Amino acid sequence: MQHVPAIDWSAAVRTGRSLVHPGPELDRAAIAEVVAELRDAAERATAPVAEVTGMPRPAPSRVLVVDRAGWIAAVAGSADVLLTRSGASAEPDGSPLDAARATALGVQAGLVFALVSSRILGQFDPFVDPARLLLVAPNVVSVERQLGVDPGDFRLWVCLHEETHRFQFGQAAWLREHLLGLFGELLDGDELRFGWLDGKPASLRDLIGSPEQQAAFDQVTAVMSLMEGHADVMMDRVGIEVVPTYPAIRRAFEARRDAHGWGAWVRRLLGFDLKRDQYRDGAKFCREVLAAGGVDTLNRAFEAPGLLPTLTEIHDSQLWLHRI
């Protein structure tokens, strides 16, 4: 395996924290209120998610409500664990040149983390022990203000999505190791490309070199599409009985996802265009499977690695239904 060069993750954290804007200004009492409400929302989301998914066992985890700097520290630690466990992380050789390169790569990673940190509302992180559900408080507050939605409903809505991921990993105890294996295959080679291609900024789609890496990328995309689409559809199934202003939140949030302008360029550069496609393609797949066979049939996708849909099947659910 071609290893990813050693990365100084402490440099990534320092850089990210020095660049990131803290977000909306809140006094101490308001911050404490947001933190408490997000923790409460995460707890309240568990029962309705269990009901609509038909998955009885969420993955053991803890809830962390963080600011943007806290998210940067968390994601840097998770990235280190992910690369190490997937077998792709190289050990530094101790030379000054290697240390300088590791620092430079850490600074670059920190820049990316700073850009992304203002966009993440929540994230379930299965790669650390124990797993954790991260809720980024300033981003939740910022977006609910931008959209003009009910804060209590929006915070619960965010938690419903992330809690669904917790149930996915609880239902499929093998899923974490399966993803680590796929990431290792994706990084197995020296043909990943970075920077600009044909005068345009390279997106995640542009980085893939060899056919073997492309195959691994397609498998990762299929799994992520299933997981994100499944979480989105389960949020919809919870509906107005739990989140009364859900329709307004969904409309406003979808409009935000589709927004154009300079932000669209940043989203493409950071891979958020791919993330958006995963939500929509995966949600379409899940809705079609639910219509054809119900929740029990859809949950078969989480029974074993061989029952996961391929990328072709994500785009044609009938192929997956016939196969299983």
Residue 24 confidence (pLDDT): 94
Q: Which two tokens stand for residue 278?
A: 């995963």
Residue 261 confidence (pLDDT): 46
SS3 180: helix
Would you give the DSSP letter of residue 90?
Answer: P
The DSSP code sequence of 258-289 is T--SHHHHHHHHHTHHHHHHHHHHHHHHHHHH
Confidence band for 92, pLDDT divided at 50, 70 and 90: low
Would you give the DSSP letter of residue 308?
Answer: S
Residue percentage of the chain with pLDDT more than 70: 85
148: Cβ contacts below 8 Å, ≥ 6 apart: 252
The DSSP code sequence of 197-220 is ETTEE--GGGG--SHHHHHHHHHH
The DSSP code sequence of 39-61 is HHHHHHHHHHHHHHH----PPPE
Give pTM, 2 decimals.
0.88
Q: Average pLDDT in the 267-288 region?
A: 75
Residue 211 confidence (pLDDT): 82
Alpha helices, H only, the chain: 9-19, 28-53, 68-85, 96-117, 137-147, 151-171, 175-186, 211-238, 246-257, 262-270, 272-299, 311-314, 317-323
Do residues 222 and 310 touch, judged by C-beta distance below 8 A?
Answer: yes
Q: Average pLDDT in the 83-110 region?
A: 84
Determine how β-strand 61-66 pairs with β-strand 131-136: parallel
Q: Which two tokens stand for residue 279?
A: 């939500």
Residue 195 backbone class (left: φ over 0; alpha: ψ -120 to 50; beta: rest) = left
* pLDDT single digits (tens) 254-265: 887 665 444 444
Residue percentage of the chain with pLDDT more than 90: 72
* pLDDT single digits (tens) 115-156: 999 999 999 999 999 999 999 999 999 999 999 999 999 999
